[in-house]
Chains A and B, each alone.
Chain A
Amino acid sequence: MISDAPARQQTSDTAESAAAPSRLSRYARPVLGLLLPVTLALGWELVVWSGWSNGRLVPPPSRIFATITELARSGELVRHITATLWRVSLGFAFGVVAGTLLGAISGYWSLARRLLDPTVQALRAIPSLAWVPLFILWLGIFETSKIALIAVGVFFPVYLGVMGAILSVDRKIVEVGRTFRLSGFAMIRRILLPAVLPAYVVSLRVGLGLGWMFVVAAELIGASEGLGYLLLDGQQLGKPAQILAAIVIFAILGKLTDWLIEIASAPFLRWQDAFSRAKGA
């Protein structure tokens, strides 16, 4: 069923229009990507259903799904998701603001870079989880220390991304701005910002990924709610289906928030999009 859908499309498309290859790839690629996980899931479901394995340690998809619906019905799921989303959002926001500001300052003023960057790079060399005990001592074991940890995780890729992007702005294009006598502010708005944007979006996405990673760490360390707490609870009570349910929800939320950044930035990056489409075709 899955594999013959693109095939059918191909035959009808080539008959109709010359745009066939691009349309084919637009629909066929996600379908092709789904093929492996869906096959594995269905296969495992079948193995457990037919009794070859009891699926106690590796529960089949149906049991994971049942766990999720059960959590949803009791209202637990919303509570855990809200707690985790809240922590990620706040940590991400703080990390992005700090990373963008310091990254922009270091990228724009070489004196600030010489003052600031060595310290930031030294701090970056510390594995971020090493901060946990200190944060707990300083900020308590409740929300503040968790959000601080997430913000630290988000900060570094954003800082590096912004600084690197500003430093690598094509000098030749800056010169075009100079020949049109752009003032400092106009130069930033009309040349630097658009030039930096693609790399900035990438660094936001990397930062968000790290934010999700660190929220798990933060919630594993001590929390009474959140998806990370669900993981820990599942481990301590021997409920693998609950662990896998939390993992699936992490995956969905991670993908969804990443997609939000992509969608929000797409209108500003259309000029790049045209390029990658042309290359892909």
Chain B
Amino acid sequence: MLALDRVSKTYPNGVEALARFSAEIRQGEIIAIIGGSGCGKSTLLRAIAGLDRASSGTVTLDSEAIASPHAKIGIIFQEPRLLPWLSVADNIGFGLADLPATERRAKVARALERVGLADKAQAWPRELSGGQAQRVAIARALVPQPEVLLLDEPFSALDAFTRRDLQDHLLDLWADTRPTLILVTHDVDEAVVLADRVLVMRPRPGRLFDHIEINLGRPRDRNSPLFETFKRSVLTSLDRSLDRNVPDRDATQGPGQAMWW
């Protein structure tokens, strides 16, 4: 279980990027975080990853406080961030340096197979398409088998077709070990396709506005009427979150919270 308790972040320049964000996320759950630009989504993810420290509040994974990068938590960024001087295979094995070489090679080979890039093992990152590079990044993050995988708009730089392909692929990989996924997105479709639960944030200061359970089985049919219904409710909530006249729900505090989880 990943517990976020009133996580807040004020940057040194005074920007209050995140205010009292609380949530409890079960092991193996898929969470989508959606919200307008600048509402603190990346800030939140970086705090969970231990890359930046929260100004106040705590992040705890299985009752262990997270203040710096942790072996059980992996992160995938919007850009693949592959190391250009390592082959695709060595990039995937980057987090396995502590393993014996044979074991590492076996794991990397399996991962390459799993993301469909076995023929690219010895290629340089520069020789990959955007979609292929992001698949390598996913493999690199998943191969050490993290309990929590954070994804910060991982598909937003890709074309619509590749994006769909990678969404399905991610679900497929997720099913192998069922890590907790926390996915930041600005694509409502993506949120509803992937998530068990969608958290809607609102800006200035960045905070939790709403959460919507997506009670749909998998695989999900993007064209079903029920899918449309969920999309519409996420969209409505997103619109309300951007409307200054709508007051905050009591989502972040109070007894109402217990009922949501």
Is the contact region of chain B dominated by helix, strand, or loop, or is it mixed?
Answer: loop
| CB-nearest residue of chain B to A181 | B69
A70: Cβ under 8 A from any B Cβ: no
Contacts of A197 in B (CB 8 A): 85
Scoring B84, B94, B95 by chain A CB atoms within 10 A of each residue's CB, the highest score goes to B84
Q: Would B81 and A194 count as touching, CB distance under 8 A?
A: no
B83: Cβ under 8 A from any A Cβ: yes
Q: Would A274 and B51 count as touching, CB distance under 8 A?
A: no
A180 CB contact (under 8 Å) in B79, B95, B124, B126: B95
B71: Cβ under 8 A from any A Cβ: yes
Number of chain B residues close to chain A: CB under 8 A: 21
Residues of A within 8 A of B (CB): 172-173, 175-176, 178-181, 186, 190-191, 194-195, 197, 271-272, 274-275, 278
A274 CB contact (under 8 Å) in B68, B81, B124: B124
Scoring B74, B85, B94 by chain A CB atoms within 10 A of each residue's CB, the highest score goes to B85
CA distance A272 to B125 in the complex (A): 11
B127: Cβ under 8 A from any A Cβ: yes
CA distance A191 to B91 in the complex (A): 12
**Nearest Cβ distance between residue A57 and chain B, in whole angstroms?**
52
Given contact pairs A172-B79, A179-B51, A179-B74, A275 touches B69 in the complex (Cβ within 8 A): no
| CB-nearest residue of chain A to B46 | A175
Given contact pairs A181-B69, A278-B127, A172 touches B94 in the complex (Cβ within 8 A): no
**Nearest Cβ distance between residue A69 and chain B, in whole angstroms?**
46
CA distance A178 to B69 in the complex (A): 7
Given contact pairs A172-B77, A173-B81, A191-B83, A180 touches B127 in the complex (Cβ within 8 A): no
B126 CB contact (under 8 Å) in A173, A175, A179, A271: A271
B75: Cβ under 8 A from any A Cβ: yes
Q: Would B69 and A172 count as touching, CB distance under 8 A?
A: no
Q: Would A274 and B69 count as touching, CB distance under 8 A?
A: no
Q: Would A275 and B81 count as touching, CB distance under 8 A?
A: no
CA distance A60 to B248 in the complex (A): 89
Q: Would A176 and B79 count as touching, CB distance under 8 A?
A: no
